[in-house]
Amino acid sequence: MIKVGINGYGTIGRRVADAVRAQSDMTVVGVVKNKPDYVAIEASKMYRVFCASKGSEKAFEDAGIETHGDVESLVDDVDIIVDATPEGQGQKNLDMYKKNGKKVIFQGGEPSNMVEASFNAYSNYVDAWGKDVVRVVSCNTTAMARTVSAVSKAFGAMKVDATIIRRATDPNDSKKGPINAVEPSLSFPSHHGPDLKTVMEIGQVNTVAVKVPTTLMHVHTIKITTEKSLSQEDVTGVFKGYNRILCVSGKLGITSTAQIMDMARERGRKRGDLFEIAVWKESIHAEGNTFRYIQAVHQESDVIPENIDAIRSMMQSMERDESIKETDRSMKLGVN
């Protein structure tokens, strides 16, 4: 049984905890919270809660939340830590994990140059094999890596041009914006292009990014130039072969991110999560060796299966295909 600790119980951390709990080969030893708020109360009903800083136990106690020590006591007791603290905090935590000789997975907000490997299950599972410090790439990069690597494996991808329409913030956040503006990223390519290259080999990747006032999902429009020519049916057939890519259709009423999220809720997914990348069938257009498609990304949950697979790769406990299959089965991915 792999003993997992989760440092940071926000959007990503709480979902990773639930996904670890759903696996038969791993267990959640505890989770770390910073503030003794309503999220900490809910966490304490399922998990042992540890405090982010020494001396804050009293504040948790005052809020009626039982704690089991600080973050270092948790780190002491695990085989591997999943760090899901806010962007930039992970980097500050690295020495603590190293000092304790523990393996750690960081999230996409941390820089790629502080880890031994960046990770995506489909494109480079083996690169994390036995490693100590790994980073699961961001929600946007994970989404691109899934569909681009599927295409690349089938047809050979030479060039990717993508426009990333980013959600402003997550639904539980009332501080960030924009709330009435469209905000382009002024660097070209946006950081997503170079980030994709950390998990797959590909000739050229051009990305532009624009933030818009929505909290539900990101949307990508992608154009890929391939080595072999292909048809719309070829591409649809390839996408259908992967559980973590879900083809959706406007003909069935799914014409925006609102209906995609509604479908996830109707499927009874906890928190309304959609771990799969949704590709609109009607958006797939092939012409010679170039094709285009549009995909939607549930930023709060698409990276969760990758965290589970990264644990197994780093612990050398399962080969790629077996791990992906087991994660998909336990999280009910690809079940329509």
Ligand X SMILES: NC(=O)c1ccc[n+]([C@@H]2O[C@H](COP(=O)([O-])OP(=O)(O)OC[C@H]3O[C@@H](n4cnc5c(N)ncnc54)[C@H](OP(=O)(O)O)[C@@H]3O)[C@@H](O)[C@H]2O)c1
**Exposed (0-12), middle (13-18) or buried (19+): which is 129, by Cβ within 10 Å?**
middle
Determine, following the binding rule CB under 6 A, whether residue 118 of this chain makes contact with ligand X.
Answer: no
Residue choice 108, 189, 193, 272 for contact with ligand X (CB under 6 A): 108
Is 7 one of the binding residues for ligand X (CB under 6 A)? yes
| Among positions 27, 56, 73, 89, the unique one binding ligand X when judged by CB under 6 A | 89
Binding of residue 87 to ligand X (CB under 6 A):
yes
Task: Please report whether residue 138 would count as binding ligand X according to CB under 6 A.
Answer: yes
Distances (CA, A) of 158 to 12, 151, 153, 228, 240: 32, 10, 11, 10, 22
- Could you say which residues in the range 261-320 bind ligand X, by CB under 6 A? 299-300, 303
Only segment of 60-68, 82-90, 145-153, 257-265 that touches ligand X (CB under 6 A): 82-90
CB of 72 to ligand X, least distance (A): 11
Long-range contacts, stretch 58-66, CB < 8 angstroms, 24+ apart: 60/33, 60/36, 62/36, 63/36, 63/37, 65/36, 65/40, 65/41
Give min distance, CB of 55 to ligand X, in A.
13
Please give the size of the binding site for ligand X, defined by CB under 6 A. 27
Question: Can residue 30 be called a binding residue for ligand X (CB under 6 A)?
Answer: no
Q: What are phi and psi of 311, to 5 degrees?
A: -60, -50
Q: Are strands 49-51 and 67-70 parallel, antiparallel or unpaired?
A: parallel
Phi-psi domain of 27 (left: phi exceeds 0; alpha: psi -120 through 50; beta: other): beta
Residue 132, burial from CB neighbour count under 10 angstroms (0-12, 13-18, 19+):
middle
10 contacts ligand X (rule: CB under 6 A): yes
Catalytic residue among 19, 139, 224, 318: 139
Residue with the shortest CB distance to ligand X = 10
User: Of 296, 250, 260, 310, which Cα lies nearest the Cα of 103?
Assistant: 310
34 contacts ligand X (rule: CB under 6 A): yes
CA 25 from chain center: how many Å? 21
Site stretch for ligand X (CB under 6 A), options 4-12, 182-190, 277-285, 324-332: 4-12
Q: Which is nearer to ligand X, 284 or 310 (CB)?
A: 310
Using CB under 6 A, pick the residue from 9, 119, 291, 293 that binds ligand X. Answer: 9
The residue written with tokens 């946006």 in the block is 190
Contact status, residue 296 vs residue 257, Cβ threshold 8 Å = yes
Q: Determine whether 139 is an active site residue.
A: yes
| 154-173: contacts with ligand X (CB under 6 A) | 170
> Of 13, 189, 193, 305, which lies in the binding site for ligand X, with binding defined by CB under 6 A?
13
Binding site for ligand X (CB under 6 A): 7-13, 32-35, 52, 84-87, 89, 107-110, 138-139, 170, 299-300, 303
Residues acting as catalytic residues: 139
